[in-house]
Amino acid sequence: MVSEHITRRSCLIGGVATAGLIAAMPASLAQSDVIQSQDTNFGGIVGEITQCKRKDGVLTIKLRLRNTSGKDANVKLIDGRNYDSYYVTAKDKKYFVLRDTENTPLTPPADGFGTLSVKIPKDGSYTWWAKYPAPPSEVTSVTYYTPLAAPFEDLPITG
């Protein structure tokens, strides 16, 4: 019983210490996965591309929206099912969001009214993702267009 109590207490203390170290990590280390970052059209919201990966003929792009405003923020990502306003260009060609066999975009889903709005808490983030047809393998970078910010240019493709 005593050894079980000590083991549980050691695990708890070790877990708290580890959580404290992670929380104390500098922001630069916590955001090392950012490929490109820029301000958006929403005050205090920063857009960060965290993935631009080609796999099996599909290009996946992840855009993290990070709230630096000091208060909760509401961001409308999709309005009127405007998925085609999120697209990729490469070698003078546009690539629009892929859709499944039921014509559903391969992105976070909109509601029944065709809207996707997210509440991003103060100091929080939300990751938007979308799947696109991958450009040919000789293409090594793309430009990503969204209605949220200026284009993210020259994004390197991994994978």
Say yes or no: 47 and 100 in one domain: yes
Which residue range is the domain that position 94 belongs to?
Answer: 33-156
Say yes or no: 3 and 58 in one domain: no
Residues 118-159 have pLDDT tens digits of: 999 999 999 999 999 999 999 999 999 999 999 999 999 999
Say yes or no: 90 and 143 in one domain: yes
Say yes or no: 98 and 40 in one domain: yes
Question: What gap in Å lies between CA 20 and CA 44, rounded to an integer?
Answer: 27
Region 86-96: mean pLDDT is: 97
State residue 157's pLDDT score: 98
Q: Is residue 26 scored above 90 in pLDDT?
A: no
Say yes or no: 54 and 98 in one domain: yes
pLDDT above 90 coverage of the chain, percent:
79
Q: Please, which pLDDT band fits residue 85 given cuts at 50, 70 and 90?
A: very high
Say yes or no: 2 and 44 in one domain: no
Question: Can you give the chain as a three-state secondary structure string?
Answer: CHHHHHHHHHHHHHHHHHHHHHHCCCHHHHCCCCCEEEECCCCCEEEEEEEEEEECCEEEEEEEEEECCCCCEEEEEECCCCHHHCEEEECCEEEECCECCCCCECCCCCCCCCCEEEEECCCCEEEEEEEEECCCCCCCEEEEEECCEEEEEEEECEC
Say yes or no: 90 and 124 in one domain: yes
